[in-house]
Structure 1
């Protein structure tokens, strides 16, 4: 392993110039920067991160806060790992490390965040599972800690955010189902106060209203975002006297459990009930194939990381064109699960 002093001697340039080149500072010309990076790779340069952090007053760590617990098992497997890959792809350019901050479902998220901040653990944060009203955002803003959110909130302090296009998914799915003759359509939403549930249900209701239809409150099913939650939705739906003819599943993981619940009752998606959901790596193995929305989670992670760094002075010059707020579109992939048609009129 080679330190910065040995690298400077090898290149016959000052330690300061080598340091600025390695840290991506704009006051180093591109030819010098290229020489330094090539020599660093050739000699196996490894920075002294602890000393560097002490000198700069930074940790070179970005924390990603997410909730854990039995009720959300499955969500992390199908969504966050690919998002993490995209986020770390960006952070690696700047020798930053991503650390998952796992808040137990048994602990208050506000208390957990305050403890993390008090320890000075990270230079910036990414928050997920944004709530309808989220005091975490005001807490971080008051302490001038750089952060971005994966999801919107009515609590808005001007932070960068990226969110999935839940309005577009609800609108597209409702239009598709109504065109196929469905009028009694059910929707799902998360079990907690996460903001995406409000967005999704409100847009589904508006889309139905535009068609002269009504979203029956009895057909709004809450569930945990996992396979067990989907199974419970199926059992609850089957217990209705006047069952819906179609359903929209807002979370990726619940489709698998929902299919299982229908199968046990001798029902089949696309034949007995129309189903539109969201794709995960696991849903591609469902039969009949799921009609659902799909996106590149890795690209979402890249955009999220760039939006955060664009607000941090040490990195902002690298991302002058980063989109600080964006609704992330999901593409509808047609399958067989919504093949069930009803005669119009």
Structure 2
């Protein structure tokens, strides 16, 4: 069996190039695992390489190249026969460091370093020689060493909680938010990486591991719980952070949150004005704090209208299309059926409509429905869904600026400071609750 060499290109690490490693096997699964191990060992920081893109690697030593899709850990790797000396772009595959670059040019390491970093005490001719040689030889700056010396990574982490259900539903919320975040971070040459916590792991333990590894300079945490131990962890670690969501946990942390109370209040007011008094709500079955905020505001709105709170009208389901389907099923099983329902997650409406259609119940005619956030797929529902509108990009940008305001290195750029904020949502009337309920 011929030996092979693994060439890894760290596309998501600045100034990266092709790096070669000999491998003892040609088994695709073994080589994939080895690739991960080598990459983590080299960077001492796997978070830097989280590119959120899937590529392939292949073995050129086989008669027919076999492709294997890898998880989203690194941008790309190719296995080649040992002895190959140039990458597909025609450059040398051997990584050149600053020492090799200085030896090649026969000048001091200090001069090479100053030329590469644009220092004014290097003459133009020397600078041109150094830059040309760096390009020719495929010079790679030691980003890990630079980060270690500076005590920073120039990376911001966004912690998400993921499950098979959230992936399958393809919720676009964080895609829009990250767009806004990166627009802000790019002003300061900061990179954003996702820290996805699987649903079978304790978020506190996951975050503790990330903190110990010093993967990022600052953090944004989401899906805050009623009592969230992550807040105390980050405060004790003195890591700048912002919570996307409030919590009943103590501390003087900075947060941003959506106006869930406003959604509940305006939803109840709108439905009561149309004659409804038996108004159900679908809230998350988890301990996420937004459900408590929404439910408290719902109860207060009912009380203001003189409507007694009925716990049987509180339907606890998953925040997903499947959860919406289950909410519809449970609603139909209630003895004295409610005449209206308010949802607290955008995708619930899709599943709810499906279950109501199966039962011959028409939204906007037989049942009033108020959805949560206007989402691309809900725009195609018939009848059109009454929901709430917001700009995810603007939310992400504000979230990013709020985080940077907590970081001494960037606070001067954001004089408004790090302040807590509730993000408003605009009511968009539809046909799903358009009818007036007659006595």
Interval of TM-score (by shorter of Structure 1 and Structure 2): 0.7 to 0.9
Matches of 2:299 and 2:402 in 1, distance apart? 32
Structure 1's consecutive aligned runs of 4 or more residues displaced over 2 angstroms after TM superposition are: 1-9, 46-52, 70-78
Match of 1:8 among 113, 118, 121: 118
Question: For the Cα contact (< 8 Å) 1:74–1:226, is it kept in 2?
Answer: no
For the pair 1:341 / 2:436, whether they are aligned, the reply is: yes
Which one of the candidate residues 285, 298, 322 is aligned to 1:228?
322
Give the TM-score of the pair, scaled to structure 2: 0.68
Is the CA contact 2:404–2:411 (under 8 Å) kept in the aligned structure 1?
yes
Which ranges of structure 1 fall in alignment gaps of 5 or more residues? Answer: 16-45
Change in CA separation of 1:317 and 1:76 when aligned onto 2, cut-off 3 Å: farther
Write out per-residue CA displacement over residues 260-310 of structure 1, whole angstroms, 9 at most, x where no aligned residue: 110111111101100001211111111110000110011111111111110
Counterpart for residue 190 of structure 1: 284
Structure 2 partner of 1:37: none
Label 1:167 to 1:186 Cα distance change in 2 as closer, same or farther (>3 A). same
For the residue of structure 1 that corresponds to 2:172, the secondary structure is helix
How far does residue 192 in structure 1 lie from its aligned partner after superposition?
0.5
Q: Which moved more, 1:310-319 or 1:67-76?
A: 67-76
Is the counterpart of residue 159 in structure 1 residue 253 in structure 2? Answer: yes
Distance 1:4 1:267 in 2: 73
Q: CA deviation at 1:75?
A: 6.4
Secondary structure of 1:189's partner? strand
Alignment match, 1:248: 342
| Structure 1: distance between partners of 2:248 and 2:218 | 22
1:115-147 superposed Cα distances (whole Å, 9 cap, x missing partner): 111111111110000000111101110111111
The runs of 5 or more residues in structure 2 that have no matched partner are 1-14, 16-111, 123-139
2:426 equivalent to 1:316: no
Compute the displacement of 1:160 (Å): 1.4
How far did 1:214 drift?
A: 1.8
Q: Does structure 2 retain, via aligned residues, the 8 Å contact 1:185–1:246?
A: yes
Residue 39 of structure 1: aligned partner: none
Query: What SS does the corresponding residue of 1:320 show, helix, strand or coil?
Result: coil
Residue 78 of structure 1 and its aligned partner are, at CA, apart by 2.4
1:168-212 C-alpha deviation (Å, 9 max, x unpaired):
111111001001000000011111111100000110110011000
Higher RCO (Cα < 8 Å, 6 or more apart): 1
Confirm or deny that 1:116 pairs with 2:210: yes
TM-score with structure 1 setting the length: 0.86
Q: Aligned-pair distance for 1:62? A: 1.0
The structure that has the greater radius of gyration is: 2
Determine if the alignment matches structure 1 residue 266 to structure 2 residue 376.
Answer: no
On the 8 A contact 1:231/1:260 being kept in 2, the answer is yes
Q: Partner of 2:43 in structure 1?
A: none
